[in-house]
Amino acid sequence: MTLLDGITSRIIPTTRLAVNILERTGDDPATPAARTIGLIHGNASSGLFWQETMLALPADLRVIAIDLRGFGGTETLPLDATRGCRDFSDDVHATVEALGLGPIHLVGWSMGGGVVMQYALDHPVLSLTLQSPVSPYGFGGTRRDGSLLTADGAGTGGGGANPDFIQRIVDRDMSEDAPTSPRNVFRGGYVAPGYASGHEDIWVESILTTATGVDNYPGDSVPSENWPGFAAGSRGVLNTLAPVHFNTAGLVDLAVKPPILWIHGTADAIVSDGSFYDLNMLGKLGYVPGWPGDDIAPPQPMVAQTRDVLEAYQTAGGQYTEVAVEGAGHSAHLERPQEFLQALLALIGSAPTAVAH
């Protein structure tokens, strides 16, 4: 019951792992790569979140939503977080190759934005759409210029996850009994107040596909002498985004720069210049005791960092478009579908049909 009418799923054997993809009924496998879009979901989700977008896109496009390892129907394998998001991006590339495709258009949401940025560093793409992406400097623990607040990435990675939320994923909790239930985390974090959908059960089911543990979500952590007492580990999902492991600012130096769309909601609770998922921001607000102050542990200016890197990308010869969706939260494709689709189709229409080498 999690698939909408017109959407199918199948498992693709690749050289790395078995990958689940969602496709539209009737899409032509012979569609050129230049008219093919790959949709990459974020953390604690799956390709199920893309179904409305898939159905709304023009019929002459081929649209594929790819489940990352440990999410949706894709095989669960350990994540080597010391590679940043490369395990994820290499899996996506193996899937693209298994489908017989060359460079395509990639869309990444939240953590998926980090995945597609890493993909573009390692493989050619026709365009990148970054929806509410993780900063090019990772999640938490950096100054505006991307420099580390502490050498060990204190306050970032697997130790920052809420254990009750994790347990409720394990228990497949569909309730709204507590703020940490997946349903309430969706309502309070993934979207802005006022969003309502008849498909909310599907979105919650998608969150519940998240594989848990030190090798997957959230990952491990290590003790730190720095506040708040833990630092990024080397395994699992949240550590792939820790700034000691993740940095995609090298996009600025790409010889061939794909056009980029950056679309984000102005009411995003997760990726913002004052994120409620940033331990330093929570410390500043008094929710985490012992915060040492702005001089030592300032909140990460995530949106400003992304804008700075994309401005540098443009100065270096690339092209990017920013669309700030007023009042939307972390999921513009759900909350403001027409604005999202209009921006995406404009990008695809302006992108090259092949990548020069």
List pLDDT tens digits, range 234-281: 999 999 999 999 999 999 999 999 999 999 999 999 999 999 999 999
Average pLDDT over residues 327-354: 95
Contact in structure between 222 and 82 (CB atoms under 8 Å): no
Q: What share of the chain is helix, strand, coil (3-state, %, to 5)?
A: 30, 15, 50
Predicted local distance difference test score (pLDDT) of residue 285: 97
Predicted local distance difference test score (pLDDT) of residue 43: 98
Q: CA–CA separation, 278 vs 95, rounded Å?
A: 32
Predicted local distance difference test score (pLDDT) of residue 353: 84
Question: At residue 162, does pLDDT exceed 70?
Answer: yes
Average pLDDT over residues 192-219: 97
According to DSSP, the residues that pair with 263 across neighbouring strands are: 131, 323
Contact in structure between 77 and 17 (CB atoms under 8 Å): yes
Average pLDDT over residues 45-51: 98
Q: What is the pLDDT of residues 100-150, one digit of tens each?
A: 999 999 999 999 999 999 999 999 999 999 999 999 999 999 999 999 999
Structure tokens at 66: 């790819």
Q: Does the reported pTM lie above 0.95?
A: yes
Handedness of CA 355, 86, 300, 270 (dihedral sign): positive
Q: What is the pLDDT of residues 51-78, one digit of tens each?
A: 999 999 999 999 999 999 999 999 999 9
According to DSSP, the residues that pair with 37 across neighbouring strands are: 63, 105
Predicted local distance difference test score (pLDDT) of residue 232: 97
Query: What percent of the chain has pLDDT above 70?
Result: 99
Question: At residue 356, does pLDDT exceed 70?
Answer: no
- Write down all domains in the chain, each with its CATH number in brackets: 7-350 (3.40.50.1820)
Please report where in the chains the tokens 């977080």 appear, as a residue.
Answer: 81
Predicted local distance difference test score (pLDDT) of residue 20: 98
What's at 108, amino acid-wise? G
Mean pLDDT in the chain? Answer: 97
Pairing of strands 18-24, 7-13: antiparallel
Contacts of 217 by beta carbon, 8 Å cutoff, 6+ apart: 43, 44, 70, 161, 166, 169, 210, 211, 236, 237, 238
Average pLDDT over residues 16-29: 97
Predicted local distance difference test score (pLDDT) of residue 355: 77
Query: What percent of the chain has pLDDT above 90?
Result: 97
